[in-house]
Amino acid sequence: MVRTVGVEEELLLVDAQSGEPRALSAAVLAVAERRSEGDSAFEPELHDQQLEFATEPRSDMHELADEVRRWRAEAAQSAARAGAAVAALATSPLPVSPSVGEGERYRWLADRFGQTTQEQLTCGCHVHVSVVSDEEGVGVLDRVRTWLPVLLALSSNSPFWQGHDTSYSSYRNRVWGRWPTAGPVEIFGSAERYHEQVQALIQTGVLRDKGMIYFDARLSHRYPTVEIRVADVCLDPADTVLLATLVRGLVETAAREWRAGDPPEPAGANVLRMAAWQASRSGLEGQLLHPRTMRPEPAADVIAALLTHVRGALEDSHDFASAEQALMDVLQRGTGAQTQRKLLARTGSLRDAVAECVSRTLG
DSSP string, 283-321: TTSSEEE-TTT--EEEHHHHHHHHHHHHHHHHHHTT-HH
Domain assignment of residue 339, yes or no: yes
Dihedral pair phi/psi, residue 136, rounded to 5°? -65, -40
- As a whole number of angstroms, the distance between CA 305 and CA 297 comes to 11
User: pTM of the full predicted structure?
Assistant: 0.97
Residues ≥6 apart with Cβ < 8 Å to 340: 89, 93, 157, 159, 160, 235, 353, 357
Domain assignment of residue 186, yes or no: yes
Domain assignment of residue 350, yes or no: no
Q: Given its phi and psi angles, is residue 7 left (phi above 0), alpha (psi -120 to 50 degrees) or beta? A: beta
For residue 335, give its domain range.
5-113+123-345
Q: What SS3 class is residue 17?
A: coil
- As a whole number of angstroms, the distance between CA 221 and CA 113 comes to 22
What is the CATH number for 192? 3.30.590.20
pLDDT at 181: 97
pLDDT at 292: 96
- Dihedral sign (CA 251, 257, 263, 265): negative
Q: How many alpha carbons lie under 13 Å from residue 181 in its C-beta half-sphere?
A: 21
DSSP per-residue codes, 165-213: E-S-SBHHHHHHTTSTT-B------SHHHHHHHHHHHHHTSSSSSGGG-
Are 335 and 284 a contacting pair, CB within 8 Å? yes
Domain assignment of residue 71, yes or no: yes
- As a whole number of angstroms, the distance between CA 12 and CA 237 comes to 15
> Per the structure, how many domains does the chain have?
1
Instruction: Please report, in tens digits, the pLDDT of each residue of the chain (363 residues total).
Output: 899 999 999 999 999 999 999 999 999 999 998 887 767 799 999 999 999 999 999 999 999 999 999 999 999 999 999 999 999 999 999 999 999 998 899 999 999 999 999 999 999 999 999 999 999 999 999 999 999 999 999 999 999 999 999 999 999 999 999 999 999 999 999 999 999 999 999 999 999 999 999 999 999 999 999 999 999 999 999 999 999 999 999 999 999 999 999 999 999 999 999 999 999 999 999 999 999 999 999 999 999 999 999 999 999 999 999 999 999 999 999 999 999 999 999 999 999 999 999 999 998
In the chain, what is the straight-line distance between the N-terminal and C-terminal CA atoms, in Å? Answer: 31
Domain assignment of residue 175, yes or no: yes
- As a whole number of angstroms, the distance between CA 92 and CA 49 comes to 10
pLDDT at 38: 64
pLDDT at 199: 97
Amino acid at 300: A
Domain assignment of residue 59, yes or no: yes
- As a whole number of angstroms, the distance between CA 203 and CA 182 comes to 17
Domain assignment of residue 357, yes or no: no
Domain assignment of residue 227, yes or no: yes
- As a whole number of angstroms, the distance between CA 137 and CA 164 comes to 40
